[in-house]
């Protein structure tokens, strides 16, 4: 009889993307549980069974919602009878994990970032083990841990050829091409910075601007040298076409960037919890994945100069990424969960 697993998750794509990779790979009956899944644009509601659970952004201020979520989770456990609960960060997983402890259901945790979320840190002493993809994250964890590879979507594992990628976008393969995107939620401040930085550079641009940007205006700015979309489902084509990428530094972005070996200019999201994106970016820069700039400290022509330098030295960064991949964790999260 197959195992039954509840994945406790919610929030941004940074939490939901690896959770859904896990669900697609694990050999078990899976049910997602968390707050806001029904309206979350990063969750495949048609592909996965799920249950909405009340939650709050704080243990103390949202104590009533937390208690209600715990009671809802206990009722869910009675109906679904899970063998295990897997928590993938965010406050939305807290009521489910707390209920699992009360019901003595084994829990496993996974943190993709260099700084695990507060929920992961709080529950790590009670977990069977916590999966980590950054060595730096180990100092925040109490209890057993395992180093596992970043979960990567199946659609991204097979790399399109460069020719296929340029045909997909209708761009010139002879031109240098810069990929720009702000992560799962887009980034208007990043869009404005990059627009100015690329204005005078002789490059093609593939820019995924997020749902809150004026897509038509940005396309008019780039003209025929650019492709603008709010979101791209076929990210493999974008990565295969890119000579360099300008991006945030969430764990899912780094997983894709290192898989495709594309040098990056990291612009960490300045309001990320515990400043974890900056720490992710510092690590990636240290091992040769690219360069970093912080929005609040950018001055003058810093970005255009860094973009030029990345393009001129792209092969050096690609070689560093290839070397670094040899030392990264090889364990598969889904396989370890099933052990």
Strand-by-strand arrangement of the 264-266 sheet = 226-229, 204-208, 177-181, 244-247, 264-266, 290-292
Distance, in Å, from the CA atom of 310 to the CA atom of 9, rounded to the nearest integer, reads: 36
Distance, in Å, from the CA atom of 99 to the CA atom of 107, rounded to the nearest integer, reads: 10
**Superfamily name and number for 155-325:** Glycogen Phosphorylase B; (3.40.50.2000)
User: Can you read off the two tokens belonging to residue 24?
Assistant: 């697609």
The pLDDT assigned to 298 comes to 86
Alpha carbon 143 to chain centroid distance? 24
The 10s digit of each residue's pLDDT in 66-83 is: 899 999 999 999 999 999
The 10s digit of each residue's pLDDT in 170-220 is: 999 999 999 999 865 557 778 888 988 998 899 999 999 988 888 999 999
Distance, in Å, from the CA atom of 129 to the CA atom of 141, rounded to the nearest integer, reads: 10
Are residues 110 and 84 in contact, defined by beta-carbon separation less than 8 angstroms? no
Instruction: Determine what percent of the chain is predicted with pLDDT higher than 70.
Output: 96
The helix (run of H) or strand (run of E) holding residue 318 is helix 314-325
Query: CB-based burial of residue 38 (10 Å sphere; 0-12 exposed, 13-18 middle, 19+ buried)?
Result: exposed
Measured in residues, the chain has a length of 339
Check pLDDT > 70 for residue 60. no
Confidence category of residue 326, pLDDT binned at 50, 70, 90: confident
The 10s digit of each residue's pLDDT in 90-136 is: 888 999 999 999 999 999 999 999 999 999 999 999 999 999 999 88
Confidence category of residue 271, pLDDT binned at 50, 70, 90: confident
For residue 209, CA distances in Å to 16, 202, 218, 324 come to 20, 20, 9, 30
Helix, strand, or coil (residue 238)? helix
Are residues 206 and 178 in contact, defined by beta-carbon separation less than 8 angstroms? yes
For residue 205, CA distances in Å to 167, 179, 242, 243, 245 come to 15, 6, 9, 10, 10
The pLDDT assigned to 185 comes to 54
The CATH architecture annotation of domain 3-147 reads 3-Layer(aba) Sandwich (3.40)
The pLDDT assigned to 40 comes to 87
Are residues 111 and 130 in contact, defined by beta-carbon separation less than 8 angstroms? yes
Distance, in Å, from the CA atom of 67 to the CA atom of 51, rounded to the nearest integer, reads: 16
**Sequence ranges of the chain with CATH classification 3.40.50.2000:** 3-147, 155-325
């Amino acid at each position: 009889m197959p195992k039954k697993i509840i994945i406790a998750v919610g929030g941004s794509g940074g939490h939901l993307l690896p959770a859904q990779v896990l669900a697609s790979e694990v050999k078990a009956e899976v049910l997602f549980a968390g707050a806001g899944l029904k309206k979350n644009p990063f969750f495949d509601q048609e592909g996965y069974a799920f249950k909405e659970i009340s939650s709050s952004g704080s243990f103390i201020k949202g104590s009533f919602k937390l208690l209600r979520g715990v009671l809802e989770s206990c009722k869910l456990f009675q109906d679904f009878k899970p063998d295990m609960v897997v928590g993938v960060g965010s406050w939305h997983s807290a009521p489910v994990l707390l209920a699992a402890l009360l019901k003595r259901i084994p829990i496993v945790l996974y943190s993709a970032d260099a700084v695990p979320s507060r929920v992961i840190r709080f529950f790590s002493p009670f977990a069977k083990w916590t999966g980590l993809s950054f060595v730096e994250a180990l100092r925040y964890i109490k209890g057993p841990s395992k180093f596992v590879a970043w979960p990567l979507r199946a659609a991204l594992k097979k790399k399109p050829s460069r020719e296929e990628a340029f045909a997909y976008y209708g761009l010139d393969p002879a031109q240098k091409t810069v990929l720009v995107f702000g992560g799962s939620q887009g980034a208007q401040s990043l869009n404005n910075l990059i627009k100015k930085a690329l204005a005078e550079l002789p490059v093609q641009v593939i820019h995924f601007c997020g749902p809150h940007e004026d897509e038509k205006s940005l396309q008019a700015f780039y003209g025929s040298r650019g492709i603008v979309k709010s979101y791209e489902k076929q990210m493999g084509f974008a990565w295969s076409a890119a000579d360099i990428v300008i991006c945030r530094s969430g764990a899912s972005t780094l997983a894709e960037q290192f898989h495709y070996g594309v040098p990056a200019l990291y612009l960490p999201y300045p309001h990320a919890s515990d400043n974890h994106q900056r720490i992710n970016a510092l690590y990636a820069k240290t091992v040769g994945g690219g360069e970093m700039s912080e929005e609040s400290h950018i001055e003058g022509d810093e970005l255009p100069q860094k973009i030029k330098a990345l393009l001129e030295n792209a092969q050096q960064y690609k070689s560093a990424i290839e070397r670094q991949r040899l030392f990264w964790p090889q364990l598969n999260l889904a396989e370890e969960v099933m052990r």
